[in-house]
Amino acid sequence: MPAEKKLSGLQTNSDGIAEKILAQADRDIVFSIRILGESRNFLQQHFQDFIRLELDKRDVSFDDHPLLLPFIETHASELTEFVATGVGLQHQFSVREFEKLVGDPMKLFRVDLWDSLSSHIAVAEQQFLSGMDGLRAILAAVAEERAVQQAKRGDVP
């Protein structure tokens, strides 16, 4: 049963969107390497040590620069992300290649991927909708504050 909602003439349908995405799967969906967990921590620690060593070689110390630790952590994180993204982009498999690798001649993986897409789209929509009352309250508070500020300046219409 499709999850459908009517919004100002725009109809959203998580099943339909999943269908459209999978229709482009051979072209638009890829699987890539992703460095996670302890391995990612190893990489981050390597860059932190590397930066510390290079700063030491140049006589840059924590005593002289109190913000050096955040500098090291930020740059190590950026270098880690650069490496992880580069490896991920360099090692991608199309859906067709992936199906061939895992031996899925009946393309059951696509059915699972469709289920997952449709479900995640519906959850994302519901998550957004669950915050609408909070957004409405924030917008009302902003409008109220604007009115107060305008009244203080004598700009009341």
Tens of pLDDT, residues 129-154? 888 888 788 888 888 998 998 888 88
How far CA 18 is from CA of 1, 60, 64, in Å, comes to 14, 53, 55
Q: Confidence band (pLDDT; 50, 70, 90) for 28? A: very high
Q: Confidence band (pLDDT; 50, 70, 90) for 47? A: very high
Cα–Cα distance, 119 to 12 (Å, whole number)? 13
Give the chain's radius of gyration (CA, Å). Answer: 25
pLDDT in tens, 54-68: 999 999 888 878 889
pLDDT in tens, 95-105: 888 888 889 87
Report whether 117 contacts 124 (CB < 8 A). Answer: no
Report whether 52 contacts 72 (CB < 8 A). Answer: yes
How far CA 89 is from CA of 19, 81, 86, 114, 119, in Å, comes to 25, 12, 5, 23, 26
Q: Name the pTM for this structure.
A: 0.60
Cα–Cα distance, 94 to 108 (Å, whole number)? 15
